[in-house]
């Protein structure tokens, strides 16, 4: 076997090892849920995030040995890419394997010299494997009564511990389905069926049954959240209907699910049918494949840049003390760069800020903190940056940018879903919207506290409003675990001046 073939095979073996361990952690989620071992599932979720770095680092040690003096030879990498592409031909998860190859290359070249001839900027096999989603769901036909169908469904998705009161759960689901769907669906038709993904989704204290109800050309997504009563039983907590509700559950503001999906792309495509507005990159990330979510995002971003002409500009809102934020009018994401010097009274280092972002990546985000993708040496067309933005970048972060001819390289940047800053939202909101969003603001702070997160700086400008109207915290430089905080009662004013 030629050196490049051994080299490529080593990377593929590393991917298979990573994927197997990822799956093993995921397969244990059901037992943690049944045992109400919430600490165990949180630890496992964090460990699963760390797996990728562990396995790519291990592979880098081997490829350095195998490549020898060719390690930094781009012609060698071109040949290795070709060998790897042949080895993954027909692989069920080739798209995630390609991302793994890219990560090994990125570690060698410090995320520079990213070209499609050396890595998989784009895949010769297509963005995703051809997937037959019918293989990943169970079909339940409404041949008899709805309660009978629901009983069969709950039996098929049972746990090693019993339902607290299955008959009650069936009555509740039956009532909600008929009440909610009666105006939209004719449940008496002979073609009504429930299509339910074969495996539960686990996260924190919940297990979720995910599917859709189909009749004719109409369908509606649904989710059954299941909770453990911590005294030896489980129960169906509620029923969620519609793309918006499902999208909130799979939001970029939540921790990653653990789900037994041996071919993730099949689950991703089914879920994308339930949530057409949600980017596929976010669906991959929601299942724990955040590194491939990053790859998919980058491809979509490149295509967006190819078909648009608007320029990057400073993001609307009050400028941050720590971050410089920019976006495009046509784009649903923002880019966040750590400044060289922070605006007083902020006193911290760049590394401390990056550590806060790592904390958020591993923490229970509780639906109230935005996930981010981190990029090094990300290249842009210089002409797409407005003069005002370039002036700002040279002023606040000159060490982070490099200009090479027509290209602008940003050495380190975070990418995050774009939201409306809460202070700007309030400026144009109706009285009813103000009341609703301020309730959301309070709920965000409470739910972050329940997840052991204290925001530190709770100014309105540090929160954003999503398209679903949820309030999300996105300024992480001062977050700390709540248990590390010491809260004191504000003393009574001693003078009239102190009272003011």
By annotation, the residues acting in catalysis are: 371
* Whole-number Å distance between alpha carbons of 473 and 460: 9
Structure token digits, residue 228: 């453990």
Question: What's the token pair of residue 80?
Answer: 């290795």
209 in Cβ contact with 257 (< 8 Å): no
The closest alpha carbon to 187, from 231, 129, 125, 141, belongs to 141
- In terms of phi and psi (left: phi > 0; alpha: psi -120 to 50; beta: otherwise), the region of 11 is alpha
- As beta bridge partners, residue 44 has none
State whether residue 379 is helix, strand or coil. strand
H/E element, 178:
helix 166-181
Sign of the CA dihedral with 310 first, then 311, 312, and 315 last: negative
Q: How do beta strands 420-421 and 453-454 pair?
A: unpaired
CB 264 within 8 A of CB 93: yes
Contact call for residues 121 and 115 (beta carbons, < 8 A): yes
- Looking up tokens 């720590």 gives 322
Cα–Cα distance list, 273 to 135, 187, 207, 243, 292 (Å): 15, 22, 21, 9, 19
Closest by CA to 293, choosing from 127, 118, 162, is: 127
Measured between alpha carbons, how far is 74 from 175 in angstroms, rounded to an integer?
64
Tell me the two tokens of residue 4: 């490049």
Query: What is the C-alpha to C-alpha distance for residues 175 and 177, in angstroms, rounded to an integer?
Result: 6
* Owner of token pair 């129960």: 235
C-alpha to C-alpha distance for 156 and 167, rounded to whole angstroms = 15
* Cα gap 25→44, rounded to integer Å: 7
Q: How far is CA 228 from the centre of its chain?
A: 25
Q: Is 223 helix (H, G, I), strand (E, B) or coil?
A: strand
Whether 398 and 340 have beta carbons less than 8 Å apart is answered as: yes
């Amino acid at each position: 076997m030629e050196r490049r073939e051994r080299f490529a095979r080593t990377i593929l073996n590393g991917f298979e090892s990573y994927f197997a361990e990822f799956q093993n952690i995921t397969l244990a989620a059901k037992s943690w849920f049944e045992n109400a071992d919430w600490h165990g599932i949180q630890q496992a979720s964090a460990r699963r995030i760390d797996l990728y770095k562990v396995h790519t680092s291990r592979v880098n040690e081997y490829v350095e040995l195998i490549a020898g003096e060719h390690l930094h030879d781009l012609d060698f990498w071109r040949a290795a890419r070709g060998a790897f592409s042949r080895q993954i031909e027909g692989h069920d998860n080739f798209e995630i394997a390609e991302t793994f190859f890219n990560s090994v290359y990125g570690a060698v070249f410090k995320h520079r010299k990213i070209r499609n001839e050396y890595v998989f900027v784009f895949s010769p096999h297509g963005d995703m494997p051809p997937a037959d989603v019918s293989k990943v769901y169970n079909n339940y036909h409404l041949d008899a009564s709805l309660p009978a169908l629901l009983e069969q469904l709950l039996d098929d998705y049972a746990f090693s511990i019993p339902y607290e009161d299955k008959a009650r759960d069936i009555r509740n689901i039956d009532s909600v389905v008929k009440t909610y769907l009666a105006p939209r669906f004719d449940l008496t038709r002979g073609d009504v069926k429930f299509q339910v993904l074969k495996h539960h989704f686990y996260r924190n204290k919940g297990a979720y049954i995910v599917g859709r109800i189909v009749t004719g050309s109409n369908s509606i997504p649904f989710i059954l959240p299941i909770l453990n009563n911590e005294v030896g039983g489980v129960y169906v907590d509620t029923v969620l209907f519609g793309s918006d509700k499902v999208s909130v559950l799979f939001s970029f503001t939540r921790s990653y699910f653990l789900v037994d999906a041996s071919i993730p792309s099949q689950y991703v495509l089914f879920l994308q049918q339930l949530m057409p507005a949600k980017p596929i990159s976010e669906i991959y990330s929601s299942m724990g494949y955040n590194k491939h979510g990053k790859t998919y995002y980058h491809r979509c971003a490149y295509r967006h840049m190819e078909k648009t002409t608007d320029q990057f500009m400073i993001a609307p809102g009050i400028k941050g003390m720590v971050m410089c934020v920019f976006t495009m009018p046509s784009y649903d994401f923002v880019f966040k760069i750590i400044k060289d010097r922070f605006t007083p009274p902020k006193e911290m280092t760049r590394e401390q800020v990056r550590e806060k972002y790592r904390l958020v990546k591993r923490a229970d985000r509780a639906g109230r903190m935005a996930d981010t993708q981190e990029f090094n040496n990300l290249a842009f067309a210089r002409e797409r940056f407005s003069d005002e933005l370039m002036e700002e970048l040279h002023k606040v972060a000159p060490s982070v940018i490099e200009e090479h001819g027509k290209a602008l390289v940003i050495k380190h940047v975070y990418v995050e879903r774009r939201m409306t800053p809460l202070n700007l939202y309030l400026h144009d909101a109706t009285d009813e919207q103000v009341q609703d969003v301020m309730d959301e603001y309070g709920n965000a702070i409470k739910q972050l506290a329940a997840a052991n997160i204290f925001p530190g700086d709770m100014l309105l400008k540090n929160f954003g409003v999503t398209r679903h109207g949820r309030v999300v915290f996105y300024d992480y430089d001062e977050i700390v675990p709540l248990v590390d905080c010491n809260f004191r009662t504000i003393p009574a004013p001693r003078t009239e001046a102190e009272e003011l």
